């Protein structure tokens, strides 16, 4: 059975993944299944591939789960890494995801608040607020469209917890397509899941101007089934 550790083929070349670059930063549209940073199994990862592409060291600013696709931003200088990382900590970075689920939520738009703790087997558990090891997790979603079998949600993250979107959607009975860790019945080929980091907005570390990065959607029939939705630009 495919799992999160499988290594699918990645489309295109690293140059095709570039969304933005200047002398301070570079951003990629990460393929699903590719780790952002080195892991215990020494898998190919975006940090090393990106550094080879630009022929210099890169510095991680944030992460995406291995099975997730979309915008990943690296710094070319440590000062830029520090300044943008501080924005993540201050929650001034705007992060919007697109999620494909098998079960449409009962409400077309809502803000979800749960309490999450890290469980065994690299899983985040939704628990009662009284659990002192749990952290508050908050996101907003809105329903966008349906295909023959699936439903598309737009997710705005308000906190940044491990596996937050995956755990919270699973908790309301709308797990992500392919995400068997959080309740979907079948895995996807290569262990990837249908969650895409679509838009990332932040202040440039030098100019201070607002930068909005938008990652084109993954290819494949599931995503192509939503091409008429209003966020597909």
Quote the tokens at residue 191: 């262990």
| pLDDT value for 2 | 42
| pLDDT value for 6 | 44
| pLDDT value for 120 | 86
Catalytic residue among 22, 39, 65, 148: 65
| pLDDT value for 10 | 82
pTM of the model: 0.91
How many residues does this entry show for the chain? 233
Q: Are 67 and 33 in contact (CB under 8 A)?
A: yes
| pLDDT value for 4 | 44
Cα separations in angstroms, 51 against 55, 150, 162, 200: 6, 37, 25, 21
Please state, in angstroms and rounded to a whole number, the distance separating the CA atoms of residues 187 and 190. 8
Which domains are present in the chain? 14-224 (3.30.2350.10)
| pLDDT value for 7 | 46
**Is 65 considered catalytic here?**
yes
| pLDDT value for 88 | 95
| pLDDT value for 231 | 57
Query: What's the per-residue H, E or C state across 23-56?
Result: CCEEEEEECCCCCCCCCCCCCCCHHHHHHHHHCC
| pLDDT value for 17 | 97
Please state, in angstroms and rounded to a whole number, the distance separating the CA atoms of residues 95 and 40. 28
| pLDDT value for 233 | 46
pLDDT averaged per 10 residues in sequence order, the chain, 233 residues: 50 92 98 92 91 97 95 98 97 96 97 94 90 94 94 94 96 97 95 97 98 94 82 51
Please state, in angstroms and rounded to a whole number, the distance separating the CA atoms of residues 32 and 97. 14
């Amino acid at each position: 059975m495919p799992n999160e550790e499988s290594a699918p083929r990645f489309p295109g070349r690293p140059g095709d993944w570039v969304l933005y670059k200047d002398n301070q930063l570079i951003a990629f549209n990460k393929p699903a299944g590719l780790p952002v940073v080195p892991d215990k199994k020494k898998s190919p990862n975006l940090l090393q591939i990106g550094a080879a592409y630009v022929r210099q060291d890169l510095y991680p600013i944030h992460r995406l789960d291995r099975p997730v696709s979309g915008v990943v931003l690296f710094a070319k200088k440590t000062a830029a890494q520090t300044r943008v990382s501080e924005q993540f900590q201050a929650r001034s970075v705007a992060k919007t995801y697109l999620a494909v689920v098998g079960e449409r939520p009962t409400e077309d738009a809502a803000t979800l608040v749960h309490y999450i703790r890290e469980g065994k087997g690299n899983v985040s558990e939704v628990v009662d607020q009284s659990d002192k090891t749990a952290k508050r997790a908050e996101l907003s979603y809105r329903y966008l469209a349906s295909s023959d079998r699936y439903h598309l949600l737009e997710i705005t993250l308000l906190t940044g917890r491990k596996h937050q979107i995956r755990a919270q959607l699973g908790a309301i009975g709308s797990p992500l397509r392919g995400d068997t860790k959080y309740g979907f019945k079948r895995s996807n080929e290569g262990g990837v899941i249908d969650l895409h980091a679509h838009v990332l907005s932040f202040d440039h570390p030098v100019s201070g101007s607002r930068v909005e990065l938008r990652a084109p959607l993954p290819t494949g029939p599931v995503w192509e089934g939503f091409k008429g939705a209003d966020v597909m630009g």
